[in-house]
A = this chain, B = another copy of it.
Amino acid sequence: MDSPQSKLDILRHSTAHVLAAAVLEMFPEANFGIGPNIDNGFYYDFDLPRTLIPEDLPLLEEKMRAIIKSNHPFEQSAIDAKKAVQLFQKAKQNYKVELINDLVENEKSKEVTIYKSGPFVDLCRGPHLDSTGEINPDAFKLTSIAGAYWRGDAKNKMLQRIYGVAFTTKQELDNYLKMIEEAEKRDHRKLGKELDLFVFSEIVGKGLPLLTPKGTVIRKELEKFVLEEETKRGYQHVITPHLAKVELYKKSGHYPYYKETMYPIMKVDEEELILRPMTCPHHFELYNSKPRSYKELPVRLAEIASQFRYEKSGELSGLTRVRLFCLADAHIICAKEQADDEIKNVLDLIDYANKIFGLAKGKDYRYRLSLGDKDDNKKYYKDDAAWEMAEGILRNTLKKIDAPYFEAKGEAAFYGPKIDVQMKKVNGQEETAFTVQYDFVMPKRFEMKYIDRDGKEKEPIVIHRSSIGCFERTMAFLIEHYAGAFPVWLAPEQVWILPISEKHTGYANTVADKLRSANIRVIAKNESETIGKKIREGEIQKIPYLLVVGDKEIAASSIAVRQRGQGDLGAMKLEGFIEKITKEIKEKL
């Protein structure tokens, strides 16, 4: 139904047609919804006499291969809309009839395009391949079955959706399937459970994760990193309340824009309070709490800030979509002429943090310059000159630091353009992790001022930014990125001491105590299990260092070191090991 663009898109959409034809063979009474191409493949929605089971998929694939082998041409023809309605009515394809009627009504179409390949006829704009034979029978796969409301509306009937992937070569398909398999293994929801990092509780509520002691270690290390690095770079951390009078968000303009995802107003006594969806206006109130001079600028107010947005339950997912999140937030309030430098500094901080996480610029992430739209006065604050200037500043900065970026119109915030940090996930998909926004609207709304060198009152601008994004999502991302094998500084348990037998537990405890005094997170595994089992358990739990201690080690006052990913490093003196691991922690290796 959609208009495919690239050659691969055309191939994928054509494969969807072949799937529909195969389904028709299996269920002659099948009713067809729509079947567009999507990233890496396609789907098609069907109304079928029975529920599909996973075992149906290989059978359908077989039928598809036969259709491909038959090499039916895709024959396009434009026919009169009324005739098309009759044609599909006759075939009892009521969803297609509905679509044609809509085309007639909304787009005033008099003609519609249909595609025929073999016995299968579909309403479709195309384009398609020339014939089914052009599809590589070894380079596609049906991957899953799901439910999907007709036209995405819960009031309509639930159809059955079959997802598939399709590529040009078998090699590409295999690579893709391998990546997906790896992504599933790394799924943070799966690893979160296996490594005991976070849990959910039915009675606490959906989208409200509880971080276990281990998950909390990671979170606190990330918070510490943000606090220390930002302080070093001239940010001042503040702590502001999680809720405020709804008036505050009406003044900022957030309430009308974010109302849908804000929690309901709480009325108590004379007050109307609401959980904050963001911290900006809180920081502006702090800025305004005393007169400001140009000498103080830039004022960089940062906060490790809880924020509340009510996501629909269908959209919740592990730590990536939650109903309460904590952002490494900041607002830089500066003179217009300082904006350039400040944005450069922000991008430098982001690059630095990403480097710490082992992410390569250009490969693992890139920037998107999200622009406003002069013609959309409803979505964007109207001030063409200000938009142009702000967009120019962001663009120039990206160019100056030679950042990998692309531009996207109509993706800006309502108060100004922004730079989005586009992160590549392990499943190959790109998503916006967080943003850097240029804002010339809020300073007006909050009447923010400073006294300039010349004694005159001037209006600053605001840069909204994060450094590592929201902690929940970042944690999810890092769990998947590291596949749970966290670098030592982030690992909840950095070292396990494994005594070979019970008589070595005393020495194990001594070693553990010494490491603990050196601020290393250590556990002495004194359970009466075989050393082999303990090592395996340590490997499953992805512990960075396993220190085996037995008679030999006691005699030599040493430890036998096994490093994750490196294997047996042999015997070491404890002091040497402490020096090694402390260096790794300090340098975040």
User: Which residue of B has the minimal Cβ distance to A201?
Assistant: B285
Would A203 and B251 count as touching, CB distance under 8 A? yes
A199: contacting residue among B227, B267, B289, B312, CB under 8 A: B289
A173: chain B residues at CB < 8 Å are none
Let me know if B203 and A285 touch, CB within 8 A: yes
A268–B263 touching, CB < 8 Å: yes
Contact B239 A242 (CB under 8 A): no
Alpha-carbon distance A240/B308, docked complex (angstroms): 14
A313 close to B269 (CB less than 8 A): yes
Contact A243 B208 (CB under 8 A): yes
Determine the residue in chain B with the shortest Cβ distance to A519.
Answer: B228
Indicate if A196 sits at the interface (CB-CB under 8 A). Answer: yes
When chains A and B are docked, how far (Å) is the Cα of A270 from the Cα of B220? Answer: 33
Contact A210–B237 (Cβ < 8 Å): no
The answer to whether A242 and B199 have CB atoms under 8 Å apart is no
Give min CB distance, A287 to chain B, whole Å.
Answer: 10
Stretch of A105-113, A211-219, A358-366 with 4 or more beta carbons under 8 angstroms from chain B: A211-219
Query: Given A266-B266, A268-B310, are A285 and B241 also a contact pair (CB < 8 Å)?
Result: no
A306 / chain B contacts, CB cutoff of 8 Å: 242, 306
Given contact pairs A206-B271, A220-B227, A264-B266, A286 touches B244 in the complex (Cβ within 8 A): no
Q: Which residues of chain B are within 8 angstroms of A266 by Cβ–Cβ distance?
A: 263-264, 266
- Does A59 belong to the interface (CB within 8 Å)? no
Interface residue? A518 (CB, 8 A): no
Judge whether B210 and A238 touch: CB under 8 Å.
yes
Q: Evaluate contact between B264 and A268: CB separation under 8 angstroms.
A: yes
Interface centre among A236, A248, A266, A306, by most chain B C-beta atoms within 10 angstroms, is A266
Task: Check A238–B220 contact: CB distance below 8 A.
Answer: no
Tell me the complex Cα distance, A427–B219, Å. 41
Interface 1/0 per residue, A237-279 and B, CB below 8 Å: 1111111110110010000000000011011111101010000
A238 and B264 form a contact (CB under 8 A)? no
Roughly how many angstroms separate A215 CA and B215 CA in the complex, as a whole number? 28
Chain B contacts of A269 at CB under 8 A? 312-313
Contacts known (A238-B212, A263-B273, A269-B312); A282 close to B243, Cβ less than 8 A: no
Cβ 8 A contact of A239, one of B206, B211, B245, B275: B211
A541-562, CB < 8 A from B: none
> Contact: A205 with B243, CB < 8 Å?
yes
Interface check A204, CB cutoff 8 A: yes
Does A290 have its Cβ within 8 Å of any Cβ on chain B? yes
Q: How far is the CB of A562 from chain B (nearest CB, A)?
A: 25
Q: Which residue of B lies closest to A244 (CB)?
A: B204
Q: Cβ of A142: which chain B residues have Cβ within 8 Å of it?
A: none
Residues of B near A208 (CB, < 8 A) are 241, 243-244
What is the CA–CA distance of A286 and B201 in the complex, to the nearest angstrom? 8
Distance A59 CA – B263 CA, assembled complex (angstroms): 57
Q: Does A209 contact B (CB under 8 A)?
A: yes
A574 at the interface (CB under 8 A from B): no
Contact A199 B286, CB 8 Å, known A213-B301, A263-B266, A264-B266: yes
What copy number does this chain have within its complex? 2
Assembly CA distance A248 to B203 (angstroms):
6
Residue A324 at the chain B interface, CB threshold 8 Å: yes
Given the contacts A203-B285, A245-B204, A285-B204, A238 and B213 also touching, CB distance less than 8 Å: yes
Let me know if B324 and A241 touch, CB within 8 A: yes
**Are B205 and A282 in contact (CB-based, < 8 A)?**
no
A215 to B286, CA, bound (A): 12
Residue of B nearest to A232 (CB): B516
User: For residue A251, which residues in chain B have a CB less than 8 angstroms away from its CB?
Assistant: 203
Tell me if A211 and B240 are in contact (CB < 8 A). Answer: yes
The one of B212, B275, B285 in contact with A286, judged by C-beta atoms closer than 8 angstroms, is B212
Give bound CA distance, A76 to B80, whole Å: 112
Residues of B within 8 A of A244 (CB): 203-205, 208
Please, which residues of chain B bring their CB within 8 A of the CB of A247? 203
Say whether, besides A264-B266, A271-B205, A220 and B237 are in contact (CB < 8 Å).
yes
Contacts of A216 in B (CB 8 A): 236-239
Q: How far is the CB of A520 from chain B (nearest CB, A)?
A: 12
Which residue of chain B has the shortest Cβ distance to A286 in the bound complex? B210
In the complex, are the beta carbons of A241 and B206 less than 8 A apart? no
A236 close to B263 (CB less than 8 A): no
CB pair A203–B238 under 8 Å, yes or no, is: no
Distance in angstroms between the alpha carbons of A267 and B205 in the assembled complex: 13
State A54–B338 Cα separation when bound (angstroms): 53
Q: Are B209 and A237 in contact (CB under 8 A)?
A: no
Do B273 and A205 touch across chains, with their CB atoms under 8 A apart?
Answer: yes
Q: Which of A210, A244, A251, A267 has the most CB of B within 10 A?
A: A210
- Which residues of A pack against B, CB within 8 Å? 196, 199, 201, 203-206, 208-213, 215-217, 219-220, 227, 236-245, 247-248, 251, 263-264, 266-271, 273, 275, 282, 285-286, 289-290, 301, 306, 308, 310, 312-313, 323-324
24 contacts between A and B (CB under 8 A): A203-B244, A203-B247, A204-B244, A205-B241, A205-B244, A205-B245, A205-B248, A208-B243, A210-B282, A210-B286, A210-B289, A212-B289, A213-B237, A216-B236, A220-B237, A241-B323, A242-B242, A243-B308, A263-B268, A263-B273, A264-B268, A268-B310, A269-B313, A270-B313
Beyond A243-B324, A263-B273, A264-B268, 5 additional pairs, beta carbon < 8 A: A201-B285, A204-B244, A210-B285, A212-B238, A212-B289
Give 3 nearest A-B pairs by CB, closest first: A213-B236, A208-B241, A201-B285
